[in-house]
Chains A and B, each alone.
Chain A
Amino acid sequence: MAASIYLPMLEYFMYYLYQAVVPRTVKMAEDQDWTAVYPTAASFKPSAVPLPIRMGYPLKGGVSPDKQGNLELIKIPNFLHLTPAAIKKHCEALKPFLTEWPSALDSDEKCTEHFPIQVQTKDFVSSGASLRNPNARIVTMKVPLSSLNLDDHARKKIIKLAKERYCEETDTLTLVTDSCPLKQQNYDHAMYLLTVLYHESWKMEAWEEDKAREDMEEYEWQDSPSQRNVVELLERTKGTEERKKDLLSQPEVQEYKDAIVIMKNHGETEENLLRYKEAVKKLYNI
Chain B
Amino acid sequence: MTKVSRTIVEVLHAGRADLFVISWSKSEVIEPIPSHTAHSIKELEVGDIFHTQSFVLSSSSLQQPAVSSQEEIVIPRKKTWNKVAVLQALAGTVKRDVTAYDYRFQDDPILSPSGSLDVKILTLAEESGRNVAKYFISTYPKYFQTDYAEPHIPCFMPEVTEPQIEGVSEAALKERIQLRRVTDAVDLYDQLLQGGNTVSLNVTNDLLDLICLYGDRDPVKESFLQQTLSHISQYLTSLPHSENNNAERIFGLLSEPNTRSYSALIQGMVKHGAFSKAIETYTDLRRNGLIGDVAIFNALIRAVWGSYPTFNERVEKSMNFLVEMESQKIKPNLNTFNAVLKCLLNSGKFGRASAFSVFSEMKALNIEPSLGSYNFLIYMFYNAALKDHEEANIAILDNVMNEILGKSFTPQHPEDGFFFTSAMTICLKFNYLELAYKVHELLNVGENWRAKFFELIAQNENIETVLKWYRDLIPSVLSIKKMNFAKDQNVLNEILALMAREKHSVEVQESFAECALDIMKIFDDPNKNITLQWTVSSIICLVRIFLAAQRRAEAWNAVGMFQRNNRVPTVELLTEFLECSMKAGDVDQAVELLKLSAGFCIPDTPKLIQKLQEKFELSETHRSILADLEVEFNFVQ
Contact = CB atoms under 8 A, between A and B. Distances in A.
Given A27-B475, A33-B95, A147-B51, A45 B90 contact: no
B527 to A, nearest CB: 16
B586 interface: no
Interface stretch (B67-75, B410-418, B596-604): B67-75
Most buried by A among B48, B74, B79: B48
A48 interface: yes
A107 B90 CA distance: 31
Interface stretch (A92-100, A207-215, A265-273): A92-100
A104 B74 CA distance: 8
Interface string A128-169: 011110000000000000111111100100000000000000
A198 to B, nearest CB: 12
In this complex, the interface size class of chain A, counting residues with CB under 8 Å from chain B, is 35 or more
B47 A155 contact: yes
Contact of B110 (A18, A28, A131, A149): A18
Contacts of A89: 93
A97 B71 CA distance: 26
Given A99-B76, A113-B32, A129-B150, A21 B109 contact: yes
Contacts of A65: none
Contacts of A90: 90, 93
B109 A114 contact: no
A97 B79 contact: yes
Contacts of A116: 53
Contacts of B92: 93
B55, B76, B77 interface centre (most CB from chain A within 10 Å): B76
Interface stretch (B96-104, B217-225, B268-276, B385-393): B96-104
B64 interface: no
A52 interface: no
B90 A129 contact: no
A23 B55 contact: no
Nearest to A145: B48
B554 to A, nearest CB: 15
Contact of B151 (A36, A45, A131, A149): A131
B89 A94 contact: yes
Contacts of B76: 99-100, 102
A126 to B, nearest CB: 12
Where chain B touches its partner, the secondary structure class is: loop
B48 A150 contact: yes
Contact of A24 (B73, B90, B109): B109
Contacts of B229: none
B480 to A, nearest CB: 15
B89 A99 contact: no
Interface string B335-346: 000000000000
B52 interface: yes
A112 to B, nearest CB: 10
A14 B112 CA distance: 13
A100 B75 CA distance: 9
A176 B248 CA distance: 70
A56 interface: no
A200 B200 CA distance: 64
Contacts of A148: 48
Nearest to A91: B93
Nearest to A11: B110
Nearest to B95: A36
22 contacts: A14-B110, A27-B475, A28-B99, A35-B93, A36-B94, A36-B100, A37-B99, A48-B107, A86-B93, A93-B93, A96-B89, A97-B79, A97-B81, A97-B89, A99-B77, A102-B74, A129-B148, A129-B150, A130-B148, A149-B49, A151-B46, A151-B47
Nearest to A89: B93
B86 A152 contact: no
A36 B97 contact: yes
B14 interface: no
A39 interface: yes
A27 B99 contact: yes
A49 B45 CA distance: 69
Interface in A9-47: 14, 18, 21-24, 27-28, 32-33, 35-37, 39, 45, 47
B94 to A, nearest CB: 4
B107 A45 contact: yes
A105 interface: yes
Contact of A33 (B77, B86, B97, B150): B97
A115 interface: yes
Contacts of B51: 113, 146-147
A103 interface: yes
Nearest to A38: B97
Interface string B572-599: 0000000000000000000000000000
Nearest to B77: A99
Given A18-B114, A99-B79, A104 B45 contact: no
A37 to B, nearest CB: 5
Given A47-B109, A132-B150, A114 B47 contact: no
Contacts of B149: 129-130
Given A18-B114, A21-B109, A104 B95 contact: no
A97 B86 CA distance: 8
A116 B51 CA distance: 10
Given A97-B89, A102-B76, A114-B73, A39 B107 contact: no
A136 B619 CA distance: 91
B53 A115 contact: yes
A162 to B, nearest CB: 17
A149 B53 CA distance: 9
Interface in B102-146: 107-110, 114
A152 B79 contact: no
B3 interface: no
B385 to A, nearest CB: 40
Contacts of B96: 36
